[in-house]
Amino acid sequence: MVVSSKIKAGIIGATGYAGAELVRLLMSHPGAEVAAVSSVSFEGKPLSAVYPSLRGICDDVLQNEDAVIGKSDVVFASLPHGLSEKLAEKCAAAGKAFIDLGADFRLEAEEDYKEWYGLSYNKPQLHSQAVYCIPELHRQNLGESRLVANPGCYPTSIGLGLAPAVSKGLIRTEGIVIDSKSGVTGAGRGLTQNTHYPDCNEAFAPYKVACHRHTPEIEQTLSHMAGKRVTVTFVPHLLPVNRGIVSTIYADVAQGVDFSDIVAAYEAFYEKEKFVRVLPQGEIANLKNVKYSNYCDISLHHDARAGKLILVSTIDNMVKGAAGQAIQNMNLIMGIEESTGLDLIPPAF
Amino acid sequence: MVVSSKIKAGIIGATGYAGAELVRLLMSHPGAEVAAVSSVSFEGKPLSAVYPSLRGICDDVLQNEDAVIGKSDVVFASLPHGLSEKLAEKCAAAGKAFIDLGADFRLEAEEDYKEWYGLSYNKPQLHSQAVYCIPELHRQNLGESRLVANPGCYPTSIGLGLAPAVSKGLIRTEGIVIDSKSGVTGAGRGLTQNTHYPDCNEAFAPYKVACHRHTPEIEQTLSHMAGKRVTVTFVPHLLPVNRGIVSTIYADVAQGVDFSDIVAAYEAFYEKEKFVRVLPQGEIANLKNVKYSNYCDISLHHDARAGKLILVSTIDNMVKGAAGQAIQNMNLIMGIEESTGLDLIPPAF
Amino acid sequence: MVVSSKIKAGIIGATGYAGAELVRLLMSHPGAEVAAVSSVSFEGKPLSAVYPSLRGICDDVLQNEDAVIGKSDVVFASLPHGLSEKLAEKCAAAGKAFIDLGADFRLEAEEDYKEWYGLSYNKPQLHSQAVYCIPELHRQNLGESRLVANPGCYPTSIGLGLAPAVSKGLIRTEGIVIDSKSGVTGAGRGLTQNTHYPDCNEAFAPYKVACHRHTPEIEQTLSHMAGKRVTVTFVPHLLPVNRGIVSTIYADVAQGVDFSDIVAAYEAFYEKEKFVRVLPQGEIANLKNVKYSNYCDISLHHDARAGKLILVSTIDNMVKGAAGQAIQNMNLIMGIEESTGLDLIPPAF
Amino acid sequence: MVVSSKIKAGIIGATGYAGAELVRLLMSHPGAEVAAVSSVSFEGKPLSAVYPSLRGICDDVLQNEDAVIGKSDVVFASLPHGLSEKLAEKCAAAGKAFIDLGADFRLEAEEDYKEWYGLSYNKPQLHSQAVYCIPELHRQNLGESRLVANPGCYPTSIGLGLAPAVSKGLIRTEGIVIDSKSGVTGAGRGLTQNTHYPDCNEAFAPYKVACHRHTPEIEQTLSHMAGKRVTVTFVPHLLPVNRGIVSTIYADVAQGVDFSDIVAAYEAFYEKEKFVRVLPQGEIANLKNVKYSNYCDISLHHDARAGKLILVSTIDNMVKGAAGQAIQNMNLIMGIEESTGLDLIPPAF
């Protein structure tokens, strides 16, 4: 009897955009396979009935979450906040690794979770086991963890964009301004007036100005790097494209630091990182060059007149900002090469 | 013999986007008429051959600039920089009013023009006669002027957005960050790889980061308001929509100022202005609500955690940012009601 | 006491797209004014709360339908099918003209209405009073009618496109193929998965293939012209733009007819029609040249190899296909110049 | 010394869209590798300078065509028509297989080439060696051929769409109407006014009505299937999306044929074809379900009232319509599994 040695991956919430993207990427992953998928709304239907793009590729019938947990080595969940503790507990009980694409395990401080999400932690010990992991920044924290908090899309673009500057003290951490723009898949598959085509096409505006729930997550990452509490101004905008995030980040260059030092620091910091591309001076990061891929492109600019560093950091919100990074985390905790299954070449058009 | 009492308006550079928009708006203006149009590239062809949308509406044959000057009371020019001094001189000699939609007369300091545009002033006295005019901010400067420098699109959105705060001292003028996003008509009708549909659609990036030529124009306006030299960080982005600019502006609230003071100041400042709408607290300015109109919508937001004022200012770059504002200026200098011909209701979709 | 002599227009269903477009156009109409607006979903709120584009322009509070009828000379209704008979009866009782933008009065034959809409006529006498009116084709039918069935968007583009050819017997009426493409506003303001931005953007497909409810309306118009029963093949597609319909129509040229005869017939047929532009040979109708206007552009093409006439007919589905045409009908029945308030110049971009 | 056993693929015209897509797909192909790339316009620069999406993935320097031929086992060319004979000759002389993505070898009859392209055949013997190959329809014709004419994008969608119906005599071959819509990448990377973003966005129109150069290629394929000369009416439209073709095809059902026979015939015809998905009755093919993949989705519809079969056939014009199909052909002539490297899962969004 031959048994597949592939990692069995289960996806809870497979009909949401991040869930569907996980299926798409895992179907091409040489070391993993989709073991089971679930959906509350579409249970009993094949996934390809919801996503006809998957016809003949993944016609798996959507099951319930327990079935998924039972059949999987690793369980991914992509659900609204407030639902993941229960799943994490079930996975732990069943000895399954759990990677949460939702927000429930991202914040270390319960008071932040209460303030921004309005909920308390019911299982504090689970939270202490969870590891928040942008692999390029936090992979050393994973240890033997079986519970990973997969970062949010904006925090990924911003954390990667600011890491060298903040961790090396090259900018002032007061007064950082982050102006982010996200494609509409970031708002999910659920229907809203704002994402109704005629209301969203040929339109543009910020939303949740200075009150988006990713703010504490961004600050948590930066505060760890800085070794002190960092507060940022963060304003997301809804961009009329399907995919991609561009974060334009403004910070004061620290006293005595040359812009060339910053460039050198970025190049060194990411030299060995496959998925982060620091662009040569003179080029500007554009989301079209990373879409449908796991890359984060970063370009560095100097406003010498105002003494500011301007960073442009761009990712595909569905890949590096969600499903791709989750697979990167899966590879890490399952002990296979981190980039496996993520050799996705961005189509320029 | 009955003679039309309408203002005869001529448009030099009528086949560019701003020129074509001037034609569109002037054709509906109750007190003006299109007297003549010119184009270097399409001289001898009807304008409707270049813009079939105008078939049966404006089939005027494109002439040369001298013909236009001869037939007009007011001459609008929408040309690349460096060409307007000569035109201004011709208009002055012919006793015609001149409204320049280009950049040549916008900067008061010749050294700024040299630095940012690489050219000198050949006719300094013309520059001293020119009045730079965002009507809501500068109409009192027009006096008897017959030479108007029509402001750039970004500077209009930004000048209107910041005027109450800067002129009343409600924010610190150091460290202002302006993150602007413009629809693609802002790049003009000329072909470039960046504006080729498949390269521009499903794409997003900043351009001319901290080095856009509108920077000195923005700073000139703000410096006058502040009564001191103001330096800003300005980064424009190319937005995949046809029309509209959204400027998201970040500034530190001045010591001792309450956010409610700022709101009150904005409401008072623009109370009598027809074309500026200060949105009620809780709403967010969106370009879809101003497109195809002469409105500037401004929303005010407070990042209390970081002590920042966040302004969102949006206009249609082709109307309030170009042709509409030029007509507003024409109305002013020709002594008719400022808003004549500009009752354009933005279609939401 | 001065009384406005303007026509008082009321709009029932003012928060739908067609209703909002009626408001936009009527606000600029020199001979009419918006007397009252209603909405079931948003009663009690100002219209500008639903459409912030109208802030300061039309802040009228949404009322109920009876209030609208009471305050108006002419009532427009833009509602889902099945609701208009009751309104028509109320308007008749109150002596108010009624222009229905819905489907309820469009079909002469009750059996067609039963077959395609699944409902019967409750008030047959109302239907016999209603006049279906594409003004260029049917204005002579209006007589003293006070009940107008405003045509559907597809049937308008198709009726205008085929009228000269069918009424003059220049094509065979068997085997006509109509391939139409509509912008997403045609689907209305209501939320659906198909019109969710990420599902609709970068997507394209037909819908209701050969079973769209506009089919009997199209055939009714063509059958009257032909003097015999005409059956067509009609396939609509959802086009990822906000506005506009392009109908590409294929028909066999009738025996003995030259293509030049057809061209001449079209030019003659529409010679005096302000809103229909028959393009010169060699040009191709494009929705961008009619959007935001009341024009219908028609281009004529000959597939000599296959003996087919190919017509391209394009309108703005919200204007000539809905609100603009409804105002054209209002002007006609109220005895003012037909084109009043409809001098809308299409912006090319 | 270990020598790679991978097929060495060279790409001439690598900076055009089809060339760049070939690079993207070949970089992920397990049995092939990009040996060399050429470009006349960008010779000497790395490909990633033209397509920054490829930075760190394919930084190969663009060479001249001779260098490419020298280093490759298989040469792909994606060039304007008229340039491929010379290349084919060089490849033949050098013993290299040649797959032409251009039009020069697609038409069997020189008179068709003269009529539609305005050029003669200089090397008739090369044309007699060339095999035109939509693999699902023509793979048996390849034999030992080393010169493949890769089909055009429209002809691929149409040939696959009509093959079962025409080859089985289920429809009348007179009067077929093909209404196709293509994303803008189909127009290539070269700049034109029609593909300038503001002219192309929120616009829609046919082009080359009944005179597109793909017409004789379509008719050649259908004529072979039908066993007699077939003439079609073909009208392409420019669709404001980046990728994808939807062909809506109208034909009279043949006497005595039931629609259910047609459905059964399609299912049988494509039963074993991995890349053609005949959708279940009730579903409608949509380009979003095939984009970025090598699939062709076909849906079948019956207009029983008019006796017409309506087919909807959709492909990604850059993949199944160009680079993907070319690789399918490469796999066939190089003797590896036909679908190798083409397991591309379409992302729904």
Whether the per-residue pLDDT at A288 is higher than 90: the answer is: yes
The Cα–Cα gap between C6 and B339 comes to 22
Mean pLDDT of all residues in chain C? 97
pLDDT tens-digit map of A103-160: 999 999 999 999 999 999 999 999 999 999 999 999 999 999 999 999 999 999 999 9
How far apart CA D47 and CA A285 sit, in angstroms, is 17
Beta strands D296-303 and A147-149, pairing class: unpaired
Cβ neighbour number for residue D162 with a 10 Å cutoff? 29
Q: Which ipTM did the prediction report?
A: 0.97
Q: Say if B7-129 and B154-317 have the same CATH topology.
A: no
pLDDT over 90 for what percent of chain A? 98
Written as one string, the DSSP assignment of C303-348 is: ETTTTEEEEEEEE-TTIIIIIHHHHHHHHHHHTS-TTTT--PPPP-
- Are A21 and A322 spatial neighbours (Cβ–Cβ below 8 Å)? yes
Contacts of D246 in chain C (CB under 8 A): 204-206, 237
C115 CB within 8 Å of a chain D CB: no
Write the CATH number of the domain with boundaries A154-317: 3.30.360.10
**Closest B-chain CA to C293:** B53
CA distance B167 to B155: 16
D175 close to C (CB below 8 A): yes
Find tokens 């007369």 and name the residue: B105
User: What is the identity of the amino acid at C256?
Assistant: G
In angstroms, the CA A275 to CA A328 distance is: 10
Q: Which of A28, A53, A283 sits opposite D348 (nearest CB)?
A: A53
CB contact under 8 Å between C348 and B51, yes or no, is: yes
Q: Are D106 and D134 in contact (CB under 8 A)?
A: no
Write down the pLDDT at residue A4. Answer: 65
Mean pLDDT across the stretch A226-240? 98
Beta strand extents in C116-239 (DSSP E only): 131-132, 147-149, 177-182, 205-206, 233-238
Neighbours of chain C (3+ CB pairs under 8 A): A, B, D
Cα–Cα distance measured from residue D95 to residue B194, given in angstroms and rounded to the nearest whole number: 40
Reference B100, options B264, B322, B293; nearest CA is B322
Sign of the torsion formed by the C-alpha atoms of D319, D322, D326 and D329: positive
Tell me the CATH class for B7-129: alpha beta
Residue A335 tokens, joined: 């002990």
B153 belongs to the catalytic site: yes
CB contact under 8 A, D17 and B198: yes
Query: Maximum distance among all alpha carbons in chain C?
Result: 70
- Residue C53 to residue B348, Cβ atoms within 8 A: yes
Cβ neighbours of A346 in D, within 8 Å: 53
pLDDT digits (tens, 9 = 90+) for C247-268: 999 999 999 999 999 999 999 9
Residue C119 corresponds to which amino acid?
L
Mutation target to probe the B interface, by most B beta carbons within 10 A, among C17, C53, C271, C299 is: C53
Angle, helix D153-167 to helix D259-269, in steps of 10 degrees: 120
Position B4 confidence tier, pLDDT thresholds 50, 70, 90: low
Nearest to D54 by CA among D90, D35, D79, D28: D28
Distance in Å, alpha carbon of A183 to nearest chain C alpha carbon: 9
Question: Of B92, B160, B143, B99, which Cα lies nearest the Cα of B316?
Answer: B160
The Cα B137–Cα B329 span in angstroms is: 12
C156 near C180, Cβ under 8 Å? Answer: no
- Could you tell me which residues come within 8 angstroms of residue B292 by beta carbon, excluding any fewer than 6 positions away? B243, B316, B319, B344, B346, B347, C292, C347
CB contact under 8 A, C27 and B345: yes
Q: What is the pLDDT of residues B68-78, one digit of tens each?
A: 999 999 999 99
Residues whose CB falls within 8 Å of the CB of residue B179, separated by 6 or more in sequence, listed in order: A177, A179, A248, A250, B235, B237, B247, B248, B249, B250
User: CB count, 10 Å around CB of A257?
Assistant: 18
CB contact under 8 A, D348 and A20: yes
Q: Out of D27, D185, D290, name the one closest to residue A345 (CB).
A: D27
- Splitting chain D (349 residues) into consecutive groups of 10 residues, what average pLDDT does each group show? 80 98 98 98 98 98 98 97 96 98 97 96 96 98 97 98 98 98 98 98 98 98 98 98 98 98 98 98 98 98 98 98 98 98 96
**pLDDT score for A2:** 53
- Residue B181: its chain A contacts at CB < 8 A? 181, 204, 237
The CATH fold assigned to D154-316 is Dihydrodipicolinate Reductase; domain 2 (3.30.360)
Contact of A275 with chain D, judged by CB distance below 8 Å, is answered with no
- pLDDT computed for residue C119 by the predictor: 95
pLDDT tens-digit profile of A13-46?
999 999 999 999 999 999 999 999 999 999 999 9
Q: Does C3 have pLDDT greater than 90? A: no
Tell me: pLDDT of A1 over 60: no
Nearest CA-CA partner of A182 in A23, A347, A17: A17
Euclidean distance between CA atoms D255 and D169, whole angstroms? 10
Segment (H or E) for A133: none
Q: Domain limits of chain B?
A: 7-129, 154-317
Whether pLDDT at C283 is above 90? yes
Q: Is C18 on the interface with A (CB under 8 A)?
A: no
pTM of the entire predicted model: 0.97
Burial class (CB in 10 A: 0-12, 13-18, 19+), D3: exposed
C53 contacts chain B (CB < 8 A): yes
